């Protein structure tokens, strides 16, 4: 576990490292462009004006929550002003194969990040951590404390340790006030090395409008959150684990009772995310559904009272839209998706699906999942990072000649 001097010391915290230098650099730079012509389409507007007027929300400036299209990965940017100062929060940093996150933030005028939250160590959430750390002035980094031996995560941690950023491992029930944003941590209560399940999960409350993020936490974790006594109710939920059916327990979704659900997933991804049963669950409950695979980057704008949603692309999500065009079923093992991940007879260990990887000798279902988590690999010999694979199995894998990297 990374050392965390503040851990457990206090339950209510105010982020105070919004430093003078950061403030000055923010005042010097141009304001982020409020209107983006690529995101002009308004899909939905919600009014809460018939509810009790809230003193706090009456004086709030606009918050923009950008669910950035990072394909089969997660990255969400929060931008708002509080008492004239710009605040920026980033939840997850995209996939290791891309560099969209820093580019997107720069395009939004970001130069400093107050809080950077990495829900968990997997390479589709911590993927661009190193680049983000090296590009922006980061005030604090929050992580679950579970580590990964992947090069992506190790490089990200090196960048965190080399920076001036503070470090925290928030736990269930911790609350933070970051300018006019309140954050309640809903998970994990403690860690045991279960990376996905122990994703940092948090509710962001801005005036009367709240946003829930659970990373890749699964159904059991959702039930823990539900039973923890914390209020999980939120207006806008990000569906857990890219819309997988291993998350979005119906009882949890019922308790969150969102008006809008958003998932982040890549088009035609090898996992079949979002799963049809999750899409059906959300749509049958009358919850509006958006996904980055269909809509591209999705931006929610709110003054803490009303909110509107702009998407880069127009589209409709149906329970079968995530699977193959042969519309036979929502089967996530379809041939065409698998074939995209391999080239000829060579199985690219950095891209192939779990099923495809199992054609490699010594790789079964569990090991293929481990293998995917530890991506990327520079060479086939790096597969020794995967538990249970040693030099003699590497030599078998090389003799078989199926596994490759790149091309
Ligand atoms: Zn993920």
Query: 231 CA distance to ligand 1 centroid (A)?
Result: 24
Rounded distance between C-alpha atoms, residue 400 and residue 17, angstroms: 54
190 C-alpha vs ligand 1 centroid, how far in Å?
20
Give the residue from 83, 139, 130, 153 showing the smallest Cα distance to 110. Answer: 139
Cα dihedral sign, 339-342-347-352: negative
Supply the DSSP string of 165-178, one letter for each residue: -EEE---TT-EEEE
- Determine what percent of the chain is predicted with pLDDT higher than 70: 79
134 CA to middle of ligand 1, Å?
Answer: 23
Please answer whether residues 200 and 221 qualify as being in contact, where contact means their C-beta atoms are separated by less than 8 angstroms. Answer: no
* Rounded distance from Cα 265 to ligand 1 centre (Å): 9
CA of 74 to the centre of ligand 1 (A): 7
Q: Tell me the CA–centroid distance for residue 217 and ligand 1, in Å.
A: 9
Backbone angles phi, psi at 385, to 5 degrees: -65, -25
Query: Under a CB-based contact definition with an 8 Å cutoff, are residues 265 and 291 in contact?
Result: yes
Tokens of 124: 């589709």
pLDDT tens-digit map of 100-110: 999 999 999 99
How many CB atoms lie under 10 A from the CB of residue 299? 19
**Cα 123 to middle of ligand 1, angstroms:** 8
Q: How far is the CA of 201 from the centre of ligand 1 (A)?
A: 13
Cα(54) to centroid(ligand 1), Å = 36
Q: Parallel, antiparallel, or unpaired for β 175-178 and 12-14?
A: parallel
The CA 340 to ligand 1 mean position distance, Å, reads 20
The Å distance, Cα 362 to ligand 1 centre, comes to 25
Could you tell me the domains of the chain? 12-311 (3.60.15.10), 341-404 (1.10.150.320)
* 402 C-alpha to ligand 1 centroid (Å): 26
Cα(206) to centroid of ligand 1, in Å?
25
Compute, in angstroms, the gap from residue 242 CA to the centroid of ligand 1: 6
274-331 pLDDT, tens digit per residue, is: 999 999 999 999 999 999 999 999 999 999 999 999 999 999 998 875 543 333 333 3
Taking the centre of ligand 1 as the mean of its atom positions, its distance from the CA of residue 125, in whole angstroms, is 6
Q: What is the per-residue pLDDT for 34?
A: 35
Q: What is the pTM of this model?
A: 0.73
Rounded to whole angstroms, the Cα distance separating 262 from 242 reads: 9
Q: Name which of 45-54, 81-90, 126-135, 146-155 the model is least confident about.
A: 45-54
User: 124 CA to middle of ligand 1, Å?
Assistant: 5
Q: How far apart are CA 252 and CA 221, in angstroms?
A: 10
Residues 140-195 pLDDT 10s: 999 999 999 999 999 999 999 999 999 999 999 999 999 999 999 999 999 999 99
Q: How many CA atoms lie within 13 A of 223 on its CB side?
A: 6
pLDDT per residue as tens digits for the range 228-273: 999 999 999 999 999 999 999 999 999 999 999 999 999 999 999 9
**Protein residues near ligand 1, an ion, with CB under 5 A:** 124, 216
Percent of the chain's residues with pLDDT above 90 = 63
Instruction: Answer yes or no: are the C-beta atoms of 298 and 290 closer than 8 Å.
Output: yes
Distance 55 CA to ligand 1 centre (A): 38
Q: Distance, CA 94 to ligand 1 centroid (Å)?
A: 9
């Amino acid at each position: 576990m990374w050392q965390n001097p503040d851990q457990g010391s206090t339950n209510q915290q105010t982020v105070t490292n919004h430093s003078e230098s950061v403030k000055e650099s923010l005042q010097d730079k141009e304001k982020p462009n409020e209107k983006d012509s690529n995101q002009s389409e308004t899909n939905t507007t919600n009014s809460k004006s018939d509810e009790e007027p809230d003193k706090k929300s009456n004086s709030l400036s606009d918050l923009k929550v950008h669910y950035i299209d990072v394909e089969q990965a997660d990255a969400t940017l929060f931008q708002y002003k509080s008492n004239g100062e710009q605040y920026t929060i980033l939840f997850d940093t995209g996939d290791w194969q891309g560099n969209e996150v820093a580019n997107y933030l720069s395009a939004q005028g970001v130069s400093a990040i107050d809080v950077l939250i990495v829900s968990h160590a997997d390479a589709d959430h911590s993927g661009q951590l190193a680049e983000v750390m090296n590009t922006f002035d980061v005030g604090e980094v929050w992580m679950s404390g579970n580590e990964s031996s992947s090069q992506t995560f190790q490089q990200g941690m090196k960048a965190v340790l080399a920076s001036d950023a503070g470090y925290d491992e928030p736990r269930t029930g911790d609350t933070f006030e970051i300018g006019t944003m309140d954050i309640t941590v809903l998970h994990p209560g403690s860690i045991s090395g279960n990376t996905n399940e122990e994703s940092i999960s948090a509710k962001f409350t801005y005036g009367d409008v709240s946003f829930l993020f659970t990373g890749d936490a699964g159904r059991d974790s959702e039930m823990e959150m539900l039973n923890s006594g914390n209020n999980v109710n939120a207006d806008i939920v990000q569906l857990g684990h890219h819309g997988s059916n291993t998350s979005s327990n119906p009882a949890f979704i019922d308790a969150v009772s969102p008006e809008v659900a958003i998932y982040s997933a890549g088009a035609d991804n090898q996992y079949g995310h979002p799963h049809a049963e999750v899409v059906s669950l959300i749509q049958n409950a009358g919850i509006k559904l958006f996904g980055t695979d269909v809509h591209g980057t999705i931006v929610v704008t709110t003054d803490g009272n009303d909110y509107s949603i702009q998407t880069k692309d127009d589209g409709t999500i149906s329970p079968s839209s995530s699977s193959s065009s042969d519309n036979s079923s929502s089967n996530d093992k379809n041939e065409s998706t698998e074939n995209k991940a391999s080239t000829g007879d060579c199985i690219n260990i950095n891209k192939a699906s779990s099923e495809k990887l199992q054609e490699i000798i010594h790789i079964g279902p569990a090991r293929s999942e481990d293998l995917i988590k530890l991506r990327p690999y520079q060479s086939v010999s790096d597969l020794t990072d995967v538990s249970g694979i040693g030099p003699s199995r590497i030599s078998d894998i090389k003799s078989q000649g199926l596994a490759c990297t790149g091309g």
